[in-house]
Chain A
Amino acid sequence: MHSPVNWALLGLVIERPSYAYELARRFERRYHGALSLSSVSHVYTAITTLRSRGLIEEVAGTRTGRQPKPRYRATESGLREYREWLLGQLDEDRRRQRLFVLQLAALTRNPQAALGIVADYERTCLEQAAKTPITREPGAAINGNSELVERLISEEHRLAVGAKLAWVQYAQRELKARLPETRQ
């Protein structure tokens, strides 16, 4: 299953059993700006996929009344695969970063040009780091799961930017060593 939307919906079901329309609303609130649904029917399609793979199941007794709203919950298999998929994202991060460096490598025959790109990359990283919000204001009460999620996202982002900034310093040294005027 490659669709990040499907995995995100599975995560929401793991968090709390829900019916389809509720899932669509929770999805919009949680993933606004990060992932998007093509339409609410996307959720129904995803539910079919997740059920067929045994990752979620219908909660017994919820398909009742004039307007049945069957709720879905995660199976043990769903929880296990979701965890595996999450860890797999580390490989995805690594693949993206490797791709960036491979594409930058096209410029390494011209270290001066590569240094310019790296400098722009550094400037972008610095701007991103500065924009990352301070998530725990002095004296502020700490409430709710959504605040925790925001803080975890913020911290991951800040640390990731730090790794990129350190990489920039390394790349700059490597590239400067290749500049013709620095060769002895």
Chain B
Amino acid sequence: MSLLTLESVGKRYMDGPRERVVLRDASIELDPGELAVVWGLRRSGRTTLLRIAAGIEAPDSGTVRFEGRDLAEHGDEVLGAGIGYCQKAFRWAEGKSVLDHVVVGLLARGVAPAAARASAHEALERVGALRCANSALLELDAGEAVRVALARTLALRPRLLVIDEPVKGVELLERDEILGLVRELADEGLAVLASAGESTGLSGADRALALGDGELRGGARSELAPVLPLRRPAAHRVSA
């Protein structure tokens, strides 16, 4: 049993008067220690896929299971406790310090204040953002903001990390450090599902997938874990 399983997931939106298929029959399995990155152009549905995988959004069809549990029934239980969805936007918490921002996430989960501060310090140190602990969130550059967002998520000790475009907006020469950090987290046993709007974000992935026209493609069988064969529509098969 895989840690995360998306099976034949479908999602549609109304885009004005038109219906837009964002995901069609998308399947993926992810195991601990595996880093899968989904690449796609703008409006390809990358964020929707990640939100569905994290249990934030429900699919129209298909199932999403985390540790065998259907997120349609248990999504509220596992989001934040098992699944960590990394939120990089701080607009709602701009006035806070970095340390407070990470601590609050733990307090909300019922962690005692002293333990929360210790865990927050540990998480900030892990992602290389301890030097920003007393900075205001507003003062962070893009790279620091990603590290802090990761720290807040990791402080809750998830088994699955879901992160949308971790290197978006990050200064070019710092980008690989962020990618390396995400790779390290996977190497430490975390399952990571990330997205990338640029191909540079695929570096170091165990599995690179492409999302376009609602179809999730690529992802040869992982060496780390068995992967569901991705269904290729009949139209894509080479006729014999």
Known: A113-B238, A159-B200, A176-B235. A126 touches B209 (CB 8 A): yes
Known: A119-B217, A127-B220. A112 touches B203 (CB 8 A): no
Check B235–A129 contact: CB distance below 8 A: no
With an 8 A cutoff between CB atoms, is A34 at the interface?
no
Chain B contact-residue range equals 35 or more
Question: Which of A130, A135, A166 has the most B CB atoms < 10 Å from its CB?
Answer: A130
C-alpha spacing A112/B212, complex, angstroms: 17
With an 8 A cutoff between CB atoms, is A139 at the interface?
yes
Interface residues of A in 117-172 (CB under 8 A from B): 117, 119, 122-123, 126-127, 129-130, 132-139, 151, 154-155, 158-159, 161-163, 165-166, 168-169, 172
C-alpha spacing A126/B201, complex, angstroms: 11
Distance to closest chain B CB from A12 (angstroms)? 27
C-alpha spacing A169/B218, complex, angstroms: 13
Contact with A along B62-103 (1 / 0, CB 8 A): 000000000000000000000000000000000000000000
Check A112–B218 contact: CB distance below 8 A: no
Distance to closest chain A CB from B204 (angstroms)? 5
With an 8 A cutoff between CB atoms, is B181 at the interface?
yes
| Residues on B with beta carbons closer than 8 Å to the beta carbon of A181 | 235
C-alpha spacing A173/B44, complex, angstroms: 13
With an 8 A cutoff between CB atoms, is A4 at the interface?
no
Q: Which residue of A lies closest to B230 (CB)?
A: A123
| Residues on B with beta carbons closer than 8 Å to the beta carbon of A137 | 176-177, 180
| Residues on A with beta carbons closer than 8 Å to the beta carbon of B183 | 134
Distance to closest chain A CB from B233 (angstroms)? 9
Distance to closest chain A CB from B151 (angstroms)? 14
With an 8 A cutoff between CB atoms, is B198 at the interface?
yes
Check B199–A169 contact: CB distance below 8 A: no
Contact with A along B135-177 (1 / 0, CB 8 A): 0000000000000000000000000000000000000010011
Contact with A along B37-78 (1 / 0, CB 8 A): 101010000000000000000000000000000000000000
Check A169–B212 contact: CB distance below 8 A: yes
Known: A138-B184, A165-B39. A130 touches B198 (CB 8 A): no
With an 8 A cutoff between CB atoms, is B26 at the interface?
no
C-alpha spacing A1/B7, complex, angstroms: 57
C-alpha spacing A84/B204, complex, angstroms: 34
C-alpha spacing A113/B202, complex, angstroms: 28
| Residues on B with beta carbons closer than 8 Å to the beta carbon of A123 | 217-218, 220
Check A134–B179 contact: CB distance below 8 A: yes
Check A122–B218 contact: CB distance below 8 A: yes
C-alpha spacing A181/B176, complex, angstroms: 44
With an 8 A cutoff between CB atoms, is B213 at the interface?
yes
Check A158–B128 contact: CB distance below 8 A: no
13 A–B contact pairs at CB < 8 A? A113-B238, A116-B236, A132-B202, A132-B204, A136-B173, A137-B177, A158-B200, A159-B199, A162-B198, A163-B199, A165-B39, A169-B210, A176-B235
Q: Which 3 pairs between the two chains have the least Cβ-Cβ distance?
A: A162-B199, A116-B238, A136-B176
